[in-house]
Amino acid sequence: MKIQKIMQKNRTLKDIRRVKSYPSKSSNSFMDKKQGAEFPTIVISGTEMQQYAKVIKEKINNWKRIFGDF
């Protein structure tokens, strides 16, 4: 069963970046469909990515303020 995480429902389609949930049939990678490997698909928008990046940058800056440059 394919799981999709959609955090906001009012999204335009071009906003959405899809992560492939499993290797394609042509792919001969180790984790193949034959082994029953199926990974959850996470759907995330570009604006959401920017928000995450902003939060991470703030956290890094806080650590630098506390411990100095490393």
Task: Locate 52 and state its tokens.
Answer: 């995450």
CA angle at 65 for the pair 63 and 67, rounded to the nearest 5°: 65
Contacts of 64 (CB under 8 A, 6+ apart): 70
Task: Locate 41 and state its tokens.
Answer: 């698909």
pLDDT digits (tens, 9 = 90+) for 19-38: 444 445 555 554 444 555 55
Rg of the chain over Cα atoms, rounded to whole angstroms, equals 18
pLDDT digits (tens, 9 = 90+) for 44-67: 778 888 888 899 999 999 988 888
**pLDDT beyond 50 at 2:** no
CB 22 within 8 A of CB 37: yes
User: What local confidence, expressed as pLDDT, does residue 48 receive?
Assistant: 83
